[in-house]
Chains A and B, each alone.
Chain A
């Protein structure tokens, strides 16, 4: 049987047709001759050639060897000096210019460091105490200047155009509109600029029918209206939290972007215990915000309940009766809070972030009733002027076809408006649309003309930050592209031949400067008109507060409530193409490159949106690499549905969810940066609180989270904390005890030299640097993280790499939740764990944060241990210790064994897994010439395969020393700075030389709150932390 079997390779073979071909195929691979000669060229020459295959190989070998030898020659480098060197510029020496950022969302007085004419870093302007200081976004704004996707020249539709054409076309169009009597609308960001206001009024005079609409993407309209109702002036109430002993916030993230931000340094001042006193902070909120995380007492509750709380507080303080129902625990908290407020009297302050005029009215009334010192009615904040009603009216009018022209500057309504579709339809009915924009963004791409706008570091400008407090904006670099600012265009349309610089100077000399000079103001970047401050503002009698309170007390909701918020790193989203900010981990969730729906664990479980820690068959919360996963939910607000990943947020009030603005931009963005979802379509009526329905949907979302372990698990020596009561009454050894070890059966403190393995090096001569970090003052704002990024050329690695825990931040701000209600309870629980069974369950429980946890922030960078574990394991001595206390890292010596990182107890060493500059796989700013302009020339750009870490900004300490040497003087007290300590406006980070008795650091190092991280390891770090003190005193 088997012999009959026929094996065949093809049907032809089976049928035995065309047997000749088959026959040939059996012996040769190809039936026909392959025409080799054709592609080999001339056959004769080939055959007659004396070059055999062997010779050919010899030649190849020789030329390869020769080429590689020749490559040993260094490359020829060119140096091109200036033809005419500007007087102020000396190559290699940094220049600083005081200027002001005013991009519509962030307003701050800053110093810009320029090198060879390139702005490379933003510093705080210490002369300006007006508007806080540079936050993380402001620090990162210098990178926006070098965005490779900026519009390089004016555009007409999609075609490149010129300013001459733009001028001719637009002037003609505007004039014909003027003749037709059609309305011209200027839709702008908040400029808060006296000169721009003057320009716009002149524009109005010239073109007649002109409407100016101010639009803030994230509106504070309700608060402005309330202030206007009471004090007769459009502005935001100004608070000085350093003057408040009791701070009560109902849904106000005042350490974030509430009222334009900038309150953190004053707040932090009051948080450092002095003379046994510190402020007490009570926070009622639904999302876990930065402010809530810093509060002494935090009460999570739904947004609708916040209104009731506010109404009740009002009732208790003014003695009027307010009804309304609250859960028992919240009601008790309100009672306690009210009594604390009454006790503190004028030392108390109440603020709210509820976007409701009535709520804002009540807050003003409460503060008036308290006579709050912290509330300053005479200097309203001017940095938010957006008018929601005017914007809504404008969209309606555009659709009605009554608008002739719309000129936009600093706004992107197609991205930020909830009714963007209506706006788009309206835009089609407008005869002339112009967008002054740095990008071809969602709005600019739809307009007739894109007027390429300069970055604020290339522009002139002035800002009235608060009433009587002015800032000047000056260019720090020549425009990189063919751009023109909005104000210059207005001047052109007004047929005014002056430059905007001259125009501002004129405005200031006539109406702003009161006896001071322009040069001085320009030098300082800030001018305060003290006369204005002195003028007292009379509050108008307002009896509506009672009525408002009654209305608010009736607030209720049935379903989920969504609170939209702005993230510390992303703000309103205009800087979304900034890789530093994308990679910046959110202070609370510690996730980067994303936004997400924050939800309480209980709600997530109920809705089926909770991923178990580990499950055998299903998706787990963490991948094998540790990467955090989340489920997706469809959320629907007012008919708009978004698919968003869900992040479990401890402290999120049950029944409430949160989603941040600023993500989901698609136009004018690099592919890598197009992350997250756009929350603006849910921002109906400019109300940050929306009713929402949520349902689980399919798919697994991969988060890029830099901290995967969320609790301290009772390790009280990592973050030491105590209460104000204990701090005031007990000895330091009880609340800040030094760990002990057994030496000859006697308990000996680890700081003792008897239990030290190493001989101590005498560091009393010369400088010895220490960095003190006050856990009380640190709000977790993260400006130090970005400042470090900018100063030290820290690479951006992208979402995928972050997910693999390969982030490169030299400075991280660890955030820990308590697993019990407080960290103290954590410690107790840990101490009470005895035996195997209880430890298995107990420790597992302690890994989960509590429902409403206490939160602490701890900035961690290289601790510069005097007995550094990393130094002893480096096989090539690439990391060594300097006598000034810094742990040095010689990149060119490092061979990348990573022993040091493994042996570091603080896990602060970062390894360059890839070449992060000039590599298309990492297409961030270091991959294009423009983006590389931000690189600090004093710091090496690291290459692949080397370890790096915080250097304690040795380039800055060395510069300070050199400056002193050159001047032949001693270094002044507190002259030493690092990038992080300079960026820290809250005073949490203080750097200095402990051998200089006049420096602040000397005192801080020996403060009884000072301790070292993981002191028991005996590493003798040069970074000291100050014990966190919580004010738990219920008055």
Chain B
């Protein structure tokens, strides 16, 4: 009993904790939700400001507004530059200081480079040519539209110190908040438990006292009359026994049937994938359209597992995860998964180039239709206009994808019986819709009315 209680309490606590997490998630800013992008480095938003206000130790950046600079940086520069990483162009943190210290180049040089780098290269400026050759002979796009103020703002932004420690604090505060939430819940629970215990003890004490009074006052506490036990009566009654036996047999047969019919229906199948790809982060938090990655669902029978080059469209610049994390899925964990992708596609993140060593990813299929069923995604997604979630469930909430629907024939048939065909604005259906709706006397035709229950439509 005690053990059970314990289990119950821990379970309960963990549920509470989970709830508190969710609440926290709800409160966090929109920025916090997103994976850190090189354009929007959300961590810097908070920390950068703090640093600017408190220390502002940088001499060169005093004349610009880093907040403005950040906006400008994200619009104009972030496609090729990152503050701390070499991308198409060099890392830009402290660029002004570095140039002035190492090369003796002043802001005029920088402005000149920003506004028209090709002419500087052409004019034979030593450092300009050096940069040009170092970055595979690609001159920087000229930005003549940037004013002096813009440039100083951007430079002020680049002059900020690196914000990594602040990011750390953010995480720890988060964790702390979580802990606090947990403790308060535990406290309430503990208090409740103590209260119930006190009540129980009180009752026992009252009972004992009353009995003592009764004995003292010679009140006869009615003794329970010993009757023939129910169990023995039951055993003696042959008819009841038979009925019960039949009942139990039928019940077990019912459950047995239910169990057997489950075989081969892998609803809830949630295999471990070689790369932990979170649909929650991609489709949920970042609201990426399903068909961006599963593009063949538009034209093909398969929805298509995206090839790795599709991943790299974004992950070339998204090299780390900076959204919310949990105890199970930390930032390090997610970053590790992104690195698995780099490893598979053969991307050297340091050098920002493909090595050519590819290791195709062996995903585990989640939805396995038997071979004798023909299912076409484009038919349902494009012609039928069915949402992916109709069959695949709330995929945008799934950290690990699982099979949501039973994928049984009955399940298909039920949907075909109840779903109306999207006949509007489709030239194919114009004539047949008119004829069939007249025949059946309905406005809307279900898939079944169109012949969607015929064996040969799916089995060939």
Contacts A890-B456, A968-B425 given; does A884 touch B304 at CB 8 Å: no
Partner of B460, one of A77, A79, A766, A951: A951
A759 in contact (CB, < 8 A) = no
The size class of the interface chain A forms with chain B is: 35 or more
User: Which chain A residues border B425 with CB–CB below 8 Å?
Assistant: 968
In whole angstroms, what is the CA distance A83 to B301 when docked? Answer: 20
Q: From known contacts A77-B365, A969-B427, infer whether A962 and B376 are also in contact, taking CB-CB under 8 Å.
A: yes
Q: B378 touching A79 by the CB < 8 A rule?
A: no
B363-A80 in contact (CB<8A): yes
Contact of B372 with A940 in the complex, beta carbons under 8 Å: yes
Cβ of B431 under 8 Å from chain A? yes
Complex: A675 Cα to B55 Cα, angstroms:
92
Binary A-proximity of B415-457 (CB < 8 A = 1, otherwise 0): 0000000000111111110011001000000000011001111
Cβ contacts under 8 Å, A951 to chain B: 456, 460
Q: Which residues does chain B contribute within 8 Å of A74, judged by CB atoms?
A: 264, 266, 269, 368
Beta-carbon nearest neighbor of B426 in chain A: A968
Task: Verify A93–B451 contact, CB threshold 8 A.
Answer: no
A contact face: mostly helix, strand, loop, or mixed: loop
State whether the Cβ of A729 lies closer than 8 Å to any Cβ in chain B: no
A735 within 8 A of B: no
Residue of B nearest to A955 (CB): B460
- A889 CA / B457 CA spacing, docked (Å): 10
- Establish whether residues A886 and B456, one from each chain, have CB atoms under 8 Å apart when the complex forms: yes
Q: Does A893 contact B (CB under 8 A)?
A: yes
| Chain A 820-845 interface 0/1 with B at a Cβ cutoff of 8 Å (1 = within) | 00000000000000000000000000
CB nearest to B345 among chain A residues: A83
Chain B residue numbers with a CB within 8 Å of A93 are 296, 299-300
Chain B neighbourhood of A886, CB < 8 A: 456
* Interface membership of A892, Cβ < 8 A: yes
User: Across the interface, which residues of B come within 8 angstroms of A640, CB to CB?
Assistant: none
Asked whether B308 is an interface residue with its Cβ less than 8 Å from the other chain, the reply is: yes
Query: In whole Å, how far is A33's beta carbon from the nearest beta carbon of chain B?
Result: 52
**B428 touching A891, Cβ below 8 Å:** no
Across the interface, do A891 and B344 meet the contact criterion of CB distance under 8 Å?
A: no
Within the assembled complex, what's the spacing in Å between the Cα atoms of A499 and B345?
29
**Interface of chain A residues 851 through 892 with chain B (CB within 8 A):** 878, 880, 882-884, 886, 888-892
What 0/1 readout, one digit per residue, does chain A (75-92) give for beta carbons within 8 Å of chain B?
011111111110000111
**Do B455 and A79 touch (CB < 8 A)?**
no
Which one, A955, A966, A969, contacts B378 given CB within 8 A? A966
* Cβ-neighbour of B263 out of A72, A82, A938 (below 8 A): A72
| Chain A residue nearest to B296 in the complex (CB) | A90
Residue of A nearest to B384 (CB): A965
Q: Chain A residues near B451 (CB, 8 Å)? A: 766, 882-884
Any A CB within 8 A of the CB of B362: yes
Decide yes or no: A962 and B296 within 8 Å by CB, A81-B308, A92-B304 being known contacts. Answer: no
Question: Taking the nearest CB of chain A, how far is it from the CB of B291, in angstroms?
Answer: 13
Task: Please report the C-alpha to C-alpha distance between residue A84 and residue B360 in the assembled complex, in whole angstroms.
Answer: 9
Q: Cα distance A951–B374 when bound, in Å?
A: 14
Q: Are A958 and B305 within 8 A (Cβ)?
A: no
Across the interface, which residues of A come within 8 angstroms of B307, CB to CB?
81-85
Query: With an 8 A cutoff between CB atoms, is B210 at the interface?
Result: no
Q: Indicate if the CB atoms of A80 and B460 lie closer than 8 Å.
A: no
The answer for the CA separation of A354 and B40 in the assembled complex, in Å, is: 84
Cα A938 to Cα B457 with chains together (Å): 12
- A72 near B264 with CB under 8 A, answer yes
Q: Which chain A positions have C-beta within 8 A of B426?
A: 965, 968
Q: What are the residues of chain A within 8 A of B26 when measuring CB–CB?
A: none
B456 pairs with A882, CB closer than 8 A:
yes
Is there contact, CB below 8 Å, between A964 and B456? no
Q: How far is the CA of A884 from the CA of B300 in the complex (A)?
A: 23
Give A962-984 interface residues, CB cut-off 8 Å to B.
962, 964-971
Find chain A residues with CB under 8 A from B457 CB: 882, 958
**What residues of B have a CB within 8 angstroms of the CB of A940 in the complex?**
371-372, 459-460
Q: For B88, what are the chain A residues with a Cβ–Cβ distance below 8 Å?
A: none
Q: How far is the CA of A93 from the CA of B161 in the complex (A)?
A: 53
Query: What is the 8 Å Cβ interface bit string for chain A, positions 402-418, against chain B (1 contact, 0 not)?
Result: 00000000000000000
Given contacts A83-B358, A766-B432, A962-B383, contact A890 B264 (CB under 8 A): no
Q: Fill in one digit per residue for B362-395: 1 if any A CB lies within 8 Å of its CB, else 0.
A: 1111001011101011110011000000000000
Name the distance in Å between B380's Cβ and chain A's nearest Cβ.
11
Q: Are B431 and A966 in contact (CB under 8 A)?
A: no
> B165-176: contact bitstring with A at CB < 8 Å (1 yes, 0 no)?
000000000000
Whether a CB of chain A sits under 8 angstroms from the CB of B124 is no
- A84 near B308 with CB under 8 A, answer yes
A842 to chain B: closest CB distance in Å?
Answer: 45
Interface residues of B in 259-275 (CB under 8 A from A): 263-264, 266, 269, 271
Q: Are B427 and A92 in contact (CB under 8 A)?
A: no
Contact B456 A889 (CB under 8 A): yes
Asked if B10 CB lies within 8 Å of chain A CBs, one says no
Known: A81-B305, A83-B309, A882-B456. A966 touches B383 (CB 8 A): yes
Does any Cβ of B come within 8 Å of A490's Cβ? Answer: no
**Alpha-carbon distance between A971 and B432 when the two chains are bound, in angstroms:** 12
Q: Does B302 lie at the interface of the complex (its beta carbon under 8 Å from any beta carbon of A)?
A: yes
Contacts of B266 in A (CB 8 A): 74
Contact A92–B365 (Cβ < 8 Å): no
Q: How far is the CB of B273 from chain A (nearest CB, A)?
A: 10
Chain A's closest residue to B269 (CB) is A74
The complex places the Cα of A967 from the Cα of B376 at a distance, in Å, of 16
- Complex Cα distance A81/B383, Å? 25
Which of B379, B382, B455 meets A890, CB within 8 Å?
B455
Cα distance A970–B431 in the bound complex, in angstroms: 9
What residues of B have a CB within 8 angstroms of the CB of A971 in the complex? 428
Residues of chain B lying within 8 A (CB to CB) of residue A939? 460
- The interface bits of chain A over 662-680 (1 if a CB of B lies within 8 angstroms of the residue's CB, else 0) are 0000000000000000000
On whether the beta carbons of A765 and B435 are closer than 8 Å, the reply is: yes
**Across the two chains, which residue of chain A brings its CB closest to B300?**
A92
B204 → chain A, closest Cβ, in Å? 49
Q: Quick one: CB contact mask for A60-83 with B, threshold 8 Å, 1 for yes?
A: 000000000000101011111111
Q: Which residues of A contact B371 (CB under 8 A)?
A: 940-941
Whether B382 lies near A955 (C-beta < 8 A) is no
Residues of chain B with a CB closer than 8 A to A955's CB: 374, 460
Beta-carbon nearest neighbor of B346 in chain A: A83
B112 within 8 A of A: no
Nearest opposing residue in chain B for A886, CB measure: B456
Asked if B306 is at the interface (CB within 8 A of a chain A CB), the reply is yes
A738 sits at the interface (CB 8 A)? no
Interface assignment of B361: CB less than 8 Å from any CB of chain A: yes
Residue-by-residue, is B237-267 near A (CB-CB < 8 Å gives 1, otherwise 0)?
Answer: 0000000000000000000000000011010
Q: Across the interface, name the chain B residue whose C-beta is closest to A940.
A: B372
CA distance A84 to B313 in the complex (A): 11
**A513: Cβ under 8 A from any B Cβ:** no
Question: Which residues of chain B are near A941, meaning CB under 8 Å?
Answer: 371
Q: How far is the CA of A884 from the CA of B432 in the complex (A)?
A: 13
> Once bound together, how far apart are the Cα atoms of A964 and B358, in whole Å?
39
In this assembly, does A642 line the interface, its C-beta being within 8 Å of a C-beta of chain B?
no
- Interface status of A492 (Cβ within 8 A of chain B): no
CA distance A151 to B308 in the complex (A): 34
Closest chain A CB from B258 CB (angstroms): 14
A338 at interface, CB cutoff 8 A? no
List 24 interface pairs A-B (beta carbons < 8 Å), by A numbering.
A72-B264, A74-B264, A74-B266, A78-B363, A83-B307, A83-B309, A84-B358, A90-B304, A92-B302, A880-B456, A882-B451, A888-B460, A889-B460, A893-B459, A940-B371, A940-B459, A954-B460, A955-B374, A958-B374, A961-B428, A962-B378, A965-B383, A966-B378, A968-B425
Besides the known contacts A79-B305, A766-B436, A970-B427, 11 further A-B residue pairs in the complex with CB atoms under 8 A apart: A80-B360, A90-B300, A765-B435, A766-B435, A882-B454, A891-B372, A938-B460, A941-B371, A962-B378, A965-B379, A967-B427
Question: Closest 4 interchain pairs by CB?
Answer: A888-B456, A92-B300, A85-B307, A82-B307
Q: Residues of A at under 8 Å CB distance from B? A: 72, 74, 76-85, 90-93, 762, 765-766, 878, 880, 882-884, 886, 888-893, 938-941, 951, 954-955, 958, 961-962, 964-971
